[in-house]
Amino acid sequence: MILVTGATGLVGAHLLLALSRNGKTVRALIRRSNDVNRVRKVFGWYEAEPDRLLQNIQWVEGDVLDVDSLREAMHQVEIVYHCAGKVSFDPSDSHALLRVNQQGTANVVNMALESGVKKICHVSSVSALGKSKQDATIDEQHFWKTSRKNSIYAVSKYAGEQEVWRGHEEGLPAVIINPSIIIGPAQWDNGSARLFSTIYHGVPAYTNGIGGYVDVRDVAEIMIRLMEGDIAGERFIVSAENSSFEHIITEIAKVLNKKPPQLRLYPWMGEAGWIAEHILRIFGRTPTLTKEIARSAFHRFYYDNSKIVQALDYKFIPVDDAIAHTGSIFMQEHPPKRKS
């Protein structure tokens, strides 16, 4: 039996789709506040008969912060995909982030050990690799350094990883993936998918920042391959390409038939009033202004994906293709209004 936490999120829903297509019977942990129809909608974007695949999923109500529900969910489970997590860059969410991303992960690891789970895959983030010098290339050996420049989200994801490594030392085979910014269809008002809805309503400006991007279908496929193989005790950066924010925003605008941004923003603007607020909305982050968040839109980080490419002989979906795919689904749900 396979258990997936965070089953209604972007990664979780696409992972359920991939597992179901492979004929796997999956148990999905879902919080009471979440809606199974989110997953049905995702399945419907890819399958003519989504309910046929949904029959392979056993829904179990629970929460990573509820140990008893985790114990029940892991009954007779051999494989765990831990996708649940909280994303926020608002300092006021620090307590909630640490509870979900650190304590929640500790609970999952502890119950997996107690239940005799054979292997776990933990979805972390490139944020957990820590900050580096501008224009530096980051790989899996990058050493985390405690710094005020690390967002509270990064701190919480790093702390979650430490719980996974603890579990591995205690006898739970584990792999960790560190995805960069994930492109894929999901709730258009939340997470990275918010890029599409925001740009659809118009984005006049761009920054010169650079980061990594990856298609959600690649993330799901890589997770499955890692879990079906013998690899354990390893982490992998999962990122298809490094690209400028300008290119990403421009390509999304083209797919959505919108005018590409013309105004370039500079770092000194990132700490000034409405321009900083605008930057945060572009990248789907809370508009609560901090210097760290405002500056992040101008960071230039490069991520090395050679380890996962070599380990799985993997070929990533080009980022422009990922944008085109996600944009086409977005436009299906936002057809142009006919002129009267």
Give the pLDDT of residue 298: 67
Question: What is the CA 23 to chain-centroid distance, rounded?
Answer: 24
Q: What is the pLDDT of residues 275-325, one digit of tens each?
A: 555 555 555 544 433 444 455 666 788 999 999 999 999 999 999 999 999
User: What average pLDDT does the segment 218-229 reach?
Assistant: 97
Structure tokens at 54: 């949904």
Q: What is the pLDDT of residues 225-270, one digit of tens each?
A: 999 999 999 999 999 999 998 899 899 999 999 888 777 766 655 4
Give the pLDDT of residue 282: 52
- Looking at the chain, the whole-number percentage of residues with pLDDT higher than 90 is 57
Q: What is the pTM of this model?
A: 0.89
Beta strand 174-179 with 241-244 is: unpaired
Give the pLDDT of residue 260: 82
pLDDT band (50, 70, 90) for residue 209: confident
Q: What is the pLDDT of residues 148-165, one digit of tens each?
A: 777 788 899 999 999 999
User: What average pLDDT does the segment 13-18 reach?
Assistant: 96
Give the pLDDT of residue 93: 80
Q: What is the pLDDT of residues 55-109, one digit of tens each?
A: 889 999 999 999 999 999 999 999 999 999 988 777 778 888 899 999 999 999 9
Give the pLDDT of residue 145: 77
Q: What is the pLDDT of residues 126-148, one digit of tens each?
A: 989 887 666 678 999 888 877 77
Q: What is the pLDDT of residues 327-338, one digit of tens each?
A: 999 998 877 665
- Residue ranges in the chain assigned as alpha helix (H): 10-21, 37-46, 50-54, 67-73, 94-98, 104-115, 152-169, 194-200, 216-228, 245-255, 273-282, 291-296, 306-312, 319-333
Closest listed residue to residue 98, CA positions, set 42, 163, 162, 152: 152
CB-CB contact of 7 with 30 (8 Å): yes
Q: What is the pLDDT of residues 307-318, one digit of tens each?
A: 999 999 999 999
CATH architecture of 2-184+212-240+301-316: 3-Layer(aba) Sandwich (3.40)
Distance CA 242, CA 220 (A): 19
Give the pLDDT of residue 288: 37
Beta bridge partners of 28: 4, 59
What are residue 244's phi and psi, to 5 degrees? -75, 150
Give the pLDDT of residue 289: 36
Give the pLDDT of residue 283: 52
What are residue 141's phi and psi, to 5 degrees? -90, 0
